[in-house]
Amino acid sequence: MNSSRYGCSPQMRGRLGLMPHGLARWCSVVFAPGLLVLAVLTLSACSASGDRPQLHLSRASIATEGGGAMLDVDLHFQPSALQLEALEHGVPLVLDLQVGSGRGAPAASTQLGLRYFPLSRRYQLHTGTGGDRSFALRGYMLDALQRLHLPLPHDPCVGVGPCQVEVRLDYSRLPGALRLPALLRSEWRVPVARADVVHS
């Protein structure tokens, strides 16, 4: 394959040469026009090593309000360097929250989306209910995860005994060019966070 045809710089071609043949061949495909940014991120995820992301819950409580419920959680999320690089290029990181007992009662779910908009240089925290919060600095957005007040469609913990909240990264929301690296590299694998829910 003529990599220069797809916009590969000599440096990028060199990085491809350092990878196993199968990965190099796959990664080179994403240099098609319009996918250059994702290609750079893919190369980084295929070849680089670094720290691992951290995700854990320190508190979770739920209260019934009207016909629904409100979930309060203190969530601590520290993306890896590669995930932060992806975020800075406009790739969203979406966290899926599931609340339930695991004993047959229907669970309740919501999502959190972390995103950066390079043109406006603003970070955005998006909740599954449509509420958005904007931040000038990435650290402010990550700090906001420690004080979340999220509406749920129903209270999944009523009359079922102990309940848990589970938080995980939704890999299906990543662009297609990043899904394979997310499965292969430890820098992309986010641990699942769980905590018992206090019902108030």
Element (H, E) at 10: helix 10-18
What average pLDDT does this structure show over 133-154?
93
- Could you read off the pLDDT of 38-95 as tens digits, one per residue? 544 554 544 444 589 999 999 999 987 776 788 999 999 999 999 999 999 999 999 9
Buried b (16+ CB within 10 A) or exposed e, 168-189: bbeeeebbebbebbbeebebbe
Report pLDDT for 34: 44
Tell whether the model's pLDDT for residue 195 goes beyond 70: yes
**What total number of domains does the chain contain?**
2
Element (H, E) at 60: strand 54-65
CATH assignment of the domain containing 71: 2.60.40
Shared domain for 25 and 64, answered yes or no, is no
The edge-to-edge listing of strands for the beta sheet with 198-199 is: 148-152, 68-78, 54-65, 198-199
pTM of structure: 0.74
Q: Specify whether the CB–CB gap between 149 and 156 falls below 8 A.
A: no
Which residue in 29, 26, 34 sits closest to 184, CA to CA? Answer: 26
Report pLDDT for 184: 87
Q: Specify whether the CB–CB gap between 28 and 21 falls below 8 A.
A: no
Residues of the chain with pLDDT > 70, as a percent, come to 74
In a domain, 185, yes or no: no
Shared domain for 16 and 95, answered yes or no, is no
Which two structure tokens, joined as six digits, stand for 133? 């919060």
Instruction: Give the residue numbers spanning the domain of 127.
Output: 54-177+191-199
Question: What average pLDDT does the structure give for the chain?
Answer: 78
In a domain, 61, yes or no: yes
CA distance 6 to 35: 10
Shared domain for 72 and 19, answered yes or no, is no
Shared domain for 78 and 112, answered yes or no, is yes
Which two structure tokens, joined as six digits, stand for 144? 């906001």
* Dihedral angle of Cα 83, 85, 88, 92, to the nearest 10 degrees: -30
